[in-house]
Amino acid sequence: MAIPILDSYIVITSLIALVLFFLSSGSALSYTKTFYGDRPVPRSWLLIVMGIVINAIAEAGELGVFVEVIFWNIIPGIPEGMIELAAHAIAGIILAIGGYMLWKEIP
């Protein structure tokens, strides 16, 4: 049996997380454009920003899964869960590669 207050809390906190993920990815893109201007952007930094953006998109899909489960009582299938897992895993791998490349660039 679902607890309505808890369900609303989960959706609201997930929505806040989604907004913050998109704000962080927008800030990273804005910072990159402002800081580098016309100069070439290092591949390491591009990978880090791309990982943040992919993570924000995956978070949007995750909120959709919560809404399906809580309000419509639809249990997401294996493919939907695997897509979420794959998106977060890909974002994590891209962030790790970008971080490693950035670490190698610093003397």
From the centroid of its chain, how far is CA 3?
28
pLDDT at 8: 75
| pLDDT above 90: residue 107 | no
Residue-wise pLDDT for 63-77, tens only, equals 777 666 666 666 666
pLDDT at 1: 46
